[in-house]
Structure 1
Amino acid sequence: MGSSQYDLTGQKALPPPESLFERCHWLYALCREYLFRDHTPEITNALFPTGTPADGTRILELGCGPGLYACRFAKEYPQITATGIDLSKRLIQRARERASNLRLHNCTFIEGDAQALKELPHSVDAVIVSRLFLIVPDKEAVLAEIFRVLRPGGRCFIAEPTSGFRTRLPLGAMWLLARLTTSPVAKYREPQQAEVMPSADFVELVRTPSWASVDVHYDDWYQYAICQKSELQAEQPSRSTS
């Protein structure tokens, strides 16, 4: 056995907790399809302000789940390439099946952690992030990774909910389902409750990287940030992680 199976005290290390997004992947996919707000118009206006994206535009959807936006934009704009990244193997599989059913050859999905992205073959022109900061532990790391993989002049669209009850419902339902179907009750890595980010904290978070511009606005249910990297920003080399 490799030494990685043991902790610093020499005791056999316990496996990491399971993810609710693995066990209840189908429930989350249903919520994503039918309960969550569809931000397609807002994303289009934010990322492609001049209208149709240019040929060869590369977009990245972080925390893509079943791949709704990556597939939608790949289908709407066949001249672009779309990539979705999510930590859940089963949700990535659902996303790949969606792309296959739609016969999308310009859309791919990768299993990965938004807090420490694997090496990408190239920088990206636009990043989509929706509801990810509700559950990710290291929000600043996610923003740093977004900034790193964006090309100079690239844009990022971020959407986070502001309604407490509606926000907590999906994660609460997954916890309830897991407790009813697991005996004894397993431990999961997600928090017991999704917490809405206060507007002041949201603004402080999205302004963490050295963006050229940040536009924050709100509606009845969501807060949004459109962030743009400077055209003069030196392009960062991709960083591989083990």
Structure 2
Amino acid sequence: MAKVHITNVVVLDNPSPFLNPFQFELTFECIEELKEDLEWKMIYVGSAETEEHDQVLDTIYVGPIPEGRHMFVFQAPPPDVNRIPENDALGVTVVLLTCSYRSQEFVRVGYFINNEYSESEPELRENPPAKPQFDKVVRNILASEPRVTRFKINWAEPDALGSVPSHDAEVAHEALPSNDSCGASFNADSQISAMEFQGSFSGCGDNSNSILRMES
């Protein structure tokens, strides 16, 4: 049985200029004290065609975790625009929130994002330049429809760890309560039909790591 359950995610500052930080308010329940940190990652999917352009925007370590309910704001910088293919700069992509315990990922929350030029830039919306102008792009996260994937892991103490079940052993997709602050109406499924929120974790070393200590 999982010892940590995400109960709510609120997307903050949404819609937002593309170059603004990402901000998510996460609430989770811990049913039993965890002596080691939870590792949270925020990943931006740069292209639907390949994982090569995925970026880990930030990694934070939260712990130790006492039993009970906890909440924190996960803020991360925007993606490095130089690593995003120009053809994939606008349109629909995905941002992922993942959480691991003892290097075992047990939950992943994915949100579709629509990137487009601001309504105050009608000329750019009608005739997008070949080289994207990210300072005039607006990021709109589809906050009302998160995709949650849970993985079965071994929560036992290190001296009791045996073989860790693979992610294929038990995968469940479910909806997650969330505040929709944007009311996005774009059809994400029709634009990214093959994406299953399985972004890579490449580039972790290029991003800052933070440590957030939990208080009971």
How does the TM-score come out when normalised to structure 2? 0.27
Asked which structure has the greater RCO (Cα within 8 Å, sep 6+), the reply is 2
More strand by share: 2
How does the TM-score come out when normalised to structure 1? 0.25
